[in-house]
Amino acid sequence: MKSVEERIKQLPPELQQEVEDFVQCLIERRARKSKGQLKLDWRGALRELRDQHTSVQLQHKVLEWWGD
Domain boundaries, the chain: 1-35
d(CA 10, CA 13): 9
pLDDT one digit per residue (tens) for the chain, 68 residues: 889 999 999 999 999 999 999 999 999 888 777 666 667 777 788 788 778 888 888 788 888 888 85
Give the Cα separation of 31 and 29 in Å (integer).
5
pLDDT in tens, 56-65: 887 888 888 8
Taking the C-alpha atoms of residue 52 and residue 65, their distance in angstroms, rounded to an integer, is: 18
Cα separation, 46 vs 58, in Å, equals 8
Given a contact cutoff of 8 angstroms between Cβ atoms, the answer to whether 4 and 15 are in contact is: no
